[in-house]
Structure 1
């Protein structure tokens, strides 16, 4: 399908002009129907299907006469009549029908000639598919103009057909996105970013099929670090990685929490692109890649050497093992949060380097799954706002255990807020709408999820505990939590705790219906 780039402002044409043009329009019947309608008799007709063929339009009509008789006819028109359109016809000749009156009731007219701003406010991102395209009569000295019917794929008016005029022809079958600027004005935007999101969505299932939870690997590294019989270099790498993990109590400090998120692996590629290659020693993903490269040197049957670059640090043996895991494990829906716990078989001893490689490769794939989910959930929303998502996982120490803290941060900005942020180095981060999701399983509380929203300094949140006793405990502590948040200068809205898990709705607010499934 063709991508439509920015074409400037488009205008929805006046409804009275359409009705005036359709009145008296002659429809040529593919097969003559003598005596279908008597002289002076009229009938109601509805368009069942319509497609463009060159400069004409092929229609299948259902004609309903006054006596209730119904007839399906094939006809050709010089102007498009959208599927579902209803009108009154007469029969001046055996092979022609004349449109007498088009229904004025909006509920009976499938073609929209202007937008309902109450349903699609200014700034809304419309997505559609081009059904027809016509060159309009051009007066001397005037710029060329084209008229198209576009089937809407999203918003409250999905399924309706919009009639628009544009300065350039819109290829039939093309997909387009346009921002609403008024009840009769649209501005097209490129689809490239949405095609990138589609590519990401296609990669996510395979990526998530190769991942496994971090605690399995961390337990194996603890086993290596505690064993005096382990390879010295590998034991040093394992000890260094484990020492870089924060303790649960340390995350109460804002700076420590920010540092933990920065070292979670979510920003490794950005650091390398920014020339910070020498300052990634504590980055979790970088440490995992070094671990894989080091373990590959001593693992039997692996062709890598100590000089092998990190880009080659996922041996074919590990990928093959993870591919087998992908075939036997249940699929995770793309964009799901939190990622479910998934453990590989534990190492039998500290010398099982092949299993260590599998665990490390699966841990890297888990971090990559979070990164792809972040990209999938970033983009322009239906209302025209820009949403940015950062999803990651931070392993923390809790006693003798390792607990993964899954985090998702989302920032939503209006176009004006985004432009102001890009122009200013110093801006107020509270101008944007922030959403914060947390998920962790902390003994003895059990699995917990937190969903919070921060806007203009006002914080509200919902907590979910799978254990009823934990939910009751948290509910009794919400008053103290509110007081502590107020003491920090926040305006606190609703705070509540529920038993169970959050409702399993759509996992991304970015509209994905731009793909026409019937295309």
Structure 2
């Protein structure tokens, strides 16, 4: 896949149509013999991929499609120009000559590229995905950047299969895949692909990680059991203590600054910190502490392995894949893979490991915890995208182990920001919608899930409790919660608690609003 380096505005332009090249027949001389590809009198479909003018003639590169479906590229010469991207039928006259029956290039003619977009079918903000099928440089004006005429075959929307001719200063290779936002009938805005993983590969990686992950509470229970063993190596004992001490108390998370600090240290941003050289922040990071624990449990490393220092970011980045491969090898085949995009994540992992307190089982639990954090990270990437209507969707999904008296409770969090397209004819930014989902299991209340949405200062929220007694208790306290939210300056619309779990239909809550305050 060719990468587009950054957003670049381009205009769709009408090709320079020459009347003497758009109708009738034209003779083509082959620069190489057909060698039996077409016998005299046989016909095939052709498409112009490139055109070059020489001193005496025009050279055209054609993609030939035979009746069998086989395709090949032919270099030809003609005394009449052919339009880039045009489609026509050819008939073999001999091994070195063809005759081409050109089609009418008027708007709407079959096989001809579009020279402008119909905004009724493709309104501004629509995302187009396409594949480059032809490209050629345009005559360069001194002092101006080189421009190219490009034919793009659309892959989505109702215009899928149609061709579009554009001019751009980006050199796009044949077969390049691109995404562009419709800005007007003759203007597109290319969206950069840098930093984005191919969605198919990302989905595969996400599925693999989700099948290996295990809940953090499985690991924390094993760590508490391990910390009581008197013969534990000193370095390993220090890593266990540091990992447990880094987990915040549930009361701390009621403070905004403490909550922000815990989110930053959740492991979601570890790779970004490594790339930025923030080695000093690693001792506080949950994922970094888990990887340090894995390194001390792995058979190939000794308990005296060097600790993380300020220059250890590169070492950690290189070692991370090896740790995961070695530790998760056996777990990848255990049980059916979970639905990777679900929220909250299930506990996962073989239940038989929960009662084991030996170092080998601890290694598997720690590796599964790392895989769980990576599942959250990959799910965040997979759900951050630009929707067909132009809405920019950004998702952060993570998990925090929090202390609740003598227990450690994993708190799963999903934050989402929707940036809606700007209204037609207006320059200001589009409206922003914030959503948050929480999931946790806090004794004696049982499993709880919270969904909330904030738009223009108005808050709507739904709570779900699996235990009927808990649902009644929360419902009784909703009035007090509403008062506290109003005191914080929020306008509260819907606030309700239900028994059970949030519905999960074919469309997820990420694709629709729980309460449409704009209706």
TM score, norm. by length of structure 1: 0.68
The aligned counterpart of 1:260 is 262
Assess if the C-alpha contact under 8 Å between 1:4 and 1:174 holds in 2.
no
Distance across 2 between alignment mates of 1:332 and 1:21: 62
The aligned counterpart of 2:330 is 324
The aligned counterpart of 2:302 is 304
The aligned counterpart of 1:364 is 370
Shift of 1:173: 1.6
- 1:397 and 2:395 correspond: no
Shift of 1:471: 5.5
Question: Taking structure 1 as reference, are residues 102 and 198 closer, same or farther at Cα in structure 2, changes over 3 Å only?
Answer: same
Residue aligned with 1:483, SS: helix
The aligned counterpart of 1:184 is 186
- 1:500 and 2:501 correspond: yes
The aligned counterpart of 1:73 is none
The aligned counterpart of 1:420 is none
Residue aligned with 1:248, SS: coil
1:23-62 CA-to-partner distances (Å, cap 9, x unmatched) read 635488988989xxxxxxxxxxxx9995748726567799
The aligned counterpart of 2:151 is 149
Question: Taking structure 1 as reference, are residues 236 and 465 closer, same or farther at Cα in structure 2, changes over 3 Å only?
Answer: same
1:349-387 CA-to-partner distances (Å, cap 9, x unmatched) read 65x122222222221222233233334444555556654
Distance across 1 between alignment mates of 2:20 and 2:497: 61
Distance across 2 between alignment mates of 1:276 and 1:150: 43
Question: Taking structure 1 as reference, are residues 491 and 28 closer, same or farther at Cα in structure 2, changes over 3 Å only?
Answer: farther
1:284-303 CA-to-partner distances (Å, cap 9, x unmatched) read 2333234334445xxxx544
Distance across 1 between alignment mates of 2:10 and 2:237: 65
Assess if the C-alpha contact under 8 Å between 1:13 and 1:165 holds in 2.
yes
Assess if the C-alpha contact under 8 Å between 1:32 and 1:96 holds in 2.
no
Distance across 2 between alignment mates of 1:307 and 1:101: 71
Question: Taking structure 1 as reference, are residues 25 and 391 closer, same or farther at Cα in structure 2, changes over 3 Å only?
Answer: farther
Distance across 2 between alignment mates of 1:269 and 1:195: 15
- 1:130 and 2:132 correspond: yes
Question: Taking structure 1 as reference, are residues 176 and 321 closer, same or farther at Cα in structure 2, changes over 3 Å only?
Answer: closer
- 1:220 and 2:222 correspond: yes
Distance across 1 between alignment mates of 2:228 and 2:430: 46
1:228-282 CA-to-partner distances (Å, cap 9, x unmatched) read 5655665555345334433435433333333332332223455566665445544
Distance across 2 between alignment mates of 1:334 and 1:31: 54
Question: Taking structure 1 as reference, are residues 196 and 57 closer, same or farther at Cα in structure 2, changes over 3 Å only?
Answer: closer
Question: Taking structure 1 as reference, are residues 18 and 284 closer, same or farther at Cα in structure 2, changes over 3 Å only?
Answer: same
More displaced stretch, 381-390 vs 208-217: 381-390
1:170-223 CA-to-partner distances (Å, cap 9, x unmatched) read 433222233433221123344333347666545333333433211111001111
Structure-to-structure mapping, 1:30-179, within 5 angstroms: 52=49, 55=60, 78-79=82-83, 99=103, 111-117=113-119, 120-133=122-135, 146-155=148-157, 157-166=159-168, 170-179=172-181
Question: Taking structure 1 as reference, are residues 19 and 327 closer, same or farther at Cα in structure 2, changes over 3 Å only?
Answer: farther
Distance across 1 between alignment mates of 2:21 and 2:465: 62
Residue aligned with 1:266, SS: coil
Structure-to-structure mapping, 1:271-286, within 5 angstroms: 271=273, 277-278=279-280, 280-286=282-288
Residue aligned with 2:366, SS: helix
Shift of 1:132: 2.8
Distance across 2 between alignment mates of 1:382 and 1:346: 44
Residue aligned with 2:132, SS: strand
More displaced stretch, 471-480 vs 385-394: 471-480
Assess if the C-alpha contact under 8 Å between 2:85 and 2:134 holds in 1.
no
Question: Taking structure 1 as reference, are residues 11 and 302 closer, same or farther at Cα in structure 2, changes over 3 Å only?
Answer: closer
The aligned counterpart of 1:490 is 490
Distance across 2 between alignment mates of 1:199 and 1:466: 36
Unaligned runs of 5+ in 1: 35-46, 63-75, 86-94, 417-428, 511-519
Choose the corresponding residue for 2:353, options 343, 346, 350.
Answer: 346
TM score, norm. by length of structure 2: 0.68
RMSD: 5.0
The aligned counterpart of 1:425 is none
Between the two proteins, the alignment pairs up a number of residues equal to 459
Distance across 1 between alignment mates of 2:356 and 2:144: 81
1:290-325 CA-to-partner distances (Å, cap 9, x unmatched) read 4334445xxxx5442403456578798984452121
Question: Taking structure 1 as reference, are residues 343 and 8 closer, same or farther at Cα in structure 2, changes over 3 Å only?
Answer: closer
- 1:452 and 2:480 correspond: no
Assess if the C-alpha contact under 8 Å between 2:49 and 2:85 holds in 1.
no
- 1:238 and 2:246 correspond: no
Distance across 2 between alignment mates of 1:162 and 1:56: 19
1:424-447 CA-to-partner distances (Å, cap 9, x unmatched) read xxxxx9985423222223345444
Residue aligned with 2:372, SS: helix
Residue aligned with 2:210, SS: helix
Unaligned runs of 5+ in 2: 29-37, 52-59, 68-75, 89-98, 309-314, 423-428, 512-519
Assess if the C-alpha contact under 8 Å between 2:7 and 2:192 holds in 1.
no
Distance across 1 between alignment mates of 2:413 and 2:48: 49
